[in-house]
Amino acid sequence: MEDVRSGVISSETILLLENLDRFTRTNPVDAVPILINLLRTGLTLVTLQDERVHTLSGYADNTMHLMMSLMSMQAAHDYSAKLSKRVSEEWGNRANRARQGRVRMSKVPFWIDRETQKLNDRAAIAKSVFEMAKSGAGQRAIANALNLKGVPSPSGRTWSKSSVQDTLDSPATYGSLMVKGDEVKGYYPALITETEWLAIQQRNRMRYRNPQAANTANLFPRLLRCGVCGSPMNVSTTNSRGKTWRYLACEGRALRRTNCTAPNWRYDEFEEEFLSTFGSLAVPIPDATAAAEVDRTSGLEDDVRALEAKRANVLAGVQEADTADARKVLLDMASGLSREIDAKRGELIRLRESLARHLEATNSVADIAADRERLIQLAKEDRPEAQRLISNLVERIDLETDGTGSASRNAMRRYTVTMRNGWSHARVIDPGGVGEEG
């Protein structure tokens, strides 16, 4: 609907659905306004099963059409509710059957044999994860240790923090089967006791509930990427001579998942650099691209109209053709014109998308500049809100260092910020200062 309003999708488009239950199965009271707003964009909706054509004017001329759609959506909602109830009841029955014996599960923990539902030869790996956790090792340290030993993860690849976390969080380790929130205790052979499992959960919660976290949180979670191997860049902390240092380290290198040699970045230096230049990052590079695209769009629209008129003349000639050969020649010509029209329309859509991005970026410049001052203040007073503001505007940030593998602080560094409006900006950090590449 947004693309139709912005011109990316033509309002003359026809949306085909097998039935209105493919539009939504929510309550009809909520669904009808959405349907009406869809038709207000000018789109035509066609449902194939009942061969009905839905338009705003058609609903306005005959309210019975709207009533028919309302009843169709009510039926879809009722069916969905009944199906949800049946599924819920089936899960409840499965939990009861599990208490009485064995049930076939499509997915079991990696240390459990799916057929016998007993411990398999990978149970020792799961036990070692818990042994390291009980000794105080964090998820990153556990993943690193397993990867150094060449132990495959549950997926058969390398271990990550999330795969370690999934293992530590699983109630199956103390023998419980969880069926949609319903716990069946004693279903699996236990690796550890429930008391040990709860102690590890509590230790992990305390590890990530540092009272200083609000002041030292990473402002760029899930945004930072290594420019060498593409792995996430995570914040690591070290203590030296009574001071705490925070670094951005490539996860692929830290966990031995890749052969990456990218050096660490000082987190505090990167954050300060990003905040100081934030206001200019979303400003589009000034050039003649937008004006050229407007001219090109107008020319393409003229081309499409001319080709459509030519195709109409050719099709009119088909009816007047005297022989089958003449009709075939004219039909082939019409098909060729149709392909050319489709190609021109495709180019038009791409140009309109580009123009929409340019307009959005241009309109956001003033807001971005104002947000910069607000962001610097939030970084000191409300870090979670600063995170939200950055993630609303930024798609990803790639960090690169010249002379990869060197830990020298004199190496030239470059980071590329990709904004959610489609624009990318690269900035260079070198011993002589900071300069924008564009």
Q: Model confidence at 27, in pLDDT bands (50, 70, 90)?
A: confident
SS3 163: helix
Mean pLDDT of 363-380: 63
Entry field: residues in the chain:
438
Rounded to whole angstroms, the Cα distance separating 44 from 15 reads 6
- Please give the mean pLDDT across all residues of the chain: 78
* Identity of residue 324: A
Q: Model confidence at 225, in pLDDT bands (50, 70, 90)?
A: very high
Task: Give the pLDDT of residue 139.
Answer: 83
* Identity of residue 406: S
Angle between helices 139-148 and 123-134 (to 10 degrees): 140
Rounded to whole angstroms, the Cα distance separating 400 from 390 reads 20
CA 89 to chain centre: 32
Which residues contact residue 65 at a Cβ distance below 8 angstroms, ignoring those fewer than 6 apart? 52, 54, 58, 59
Rounded to whole angstroms, the Cα distance separating 392 from 421 reads 10
73 in Cβ contact with 32 (< 8 Å): yes
Q: Model confidence at 224, in pLDDT bands (50, 70, 90)?
A: very high
Question: Lowest-confidence range among 37-41, 171-175, 292-296, 345-349?
Answer: 292-296
**Which of the listed ranges 96-100, 253-257, 368-372 does the model predict with the highest average pLDDT?**
253-257
Concatenate the DSSP letters of all residues of 348-405 into one string: HHHHHHHHHHHHHHHHHHHHHHHHHHHHHHHHHH-HHHHHHHHHHHEEEEEEEESSTT
Please report where in the chains the tokens 């030993």 appear, as a residue. Answer: 149
Question: Lowest-confidence range among 137-146, 251-260, 357-366, 368-377?
Answer: 357-366
Angle between helices 63-100 and 28-40 (to 10 degrees): 130
374 in Cβ contact with 275 (< 8 Å): no
Phi/psi at 118 (nearest 5 deg)?
-115, 175
Mean pLDDT of 11-19: 88
Which domains occur in the chain, in start order? 2-100 (no CATH), 123-209 (3.90.1750.20), 215-283+384-436 (no CATH), 289-364 (1.20.58)
pTM: 0.40
Mean pLDDT of 329-352: 84
Q: Model confidence at 296, in pLDDT bands (50, 70, 90)?
A: confident
Task: Give the pLDDT of residue 102.
Answer: 65
Query: pLDDT above 90 covers what percent of the chain?
Result: 8
Residues 383-397 pLDDT 10s: 777 887 787 778 899
- Reply yes or no on whether the pLDDT at 289 is more than 60: no
Single out the residue of 187, 190, 168 nearest to residue 178, CA to CA. Answer: 187
Question: Lowest-confidence range among 8-17, 120-129, 184-193, 276-285?
Answer: 276-285
SS3 176: coil
Task: Give the pLDDT of residue 406.
Answer: 45
* Identity of residue 147: N
Please report where in the chains the tokens 């036990």 appear, as a residue. Answer: 127
Cβ-in-10-Å burial (0-12, 13-18, 19+) of 24 comes to middle
| Residue 417 bridge partners (DSSP) | 397, 425
**Higher confidence at residue 437 or residue 317?**
317
Rounded to whole angstroms, the Cα distance separating 157 from 135 reads 25
- Say how many Å lie between the first and final Cα of the chain, rounded: 33
Distances (CA, A) of 16 to 50, 54, 61, 339: 12, 10, 22, 22
Residue 177 — left, alpha, or beta (φ > 0 → left; ψ -120 to 50 → alpha)?
A: beta
Rounded to whole angstroms, the Cα distance separating 91 from 103 reads 11
Task: Give the pLDDT of residue 67.
Answer: 83
SS3 14: strand
162-192 burial code (b ≥16 CB/10 A, e <16): ebbeebbebbbbbbbbebeeeebeebbebbb
8 in Cβ contact with 44 (< 8 Å): no
Rounded to whole angstroms, the Cα distance separating 399 from 427 reads 10
Rounded to whole angstroms, the Cα distance separating 106 from 98 reads 14
Task: Give the pLDDT of residue 419.
Answer: 81
Residue 390 tokens read as 């950055």
SS3 320: helix
Strands 394-401, 413-419: pairing is antiparallel
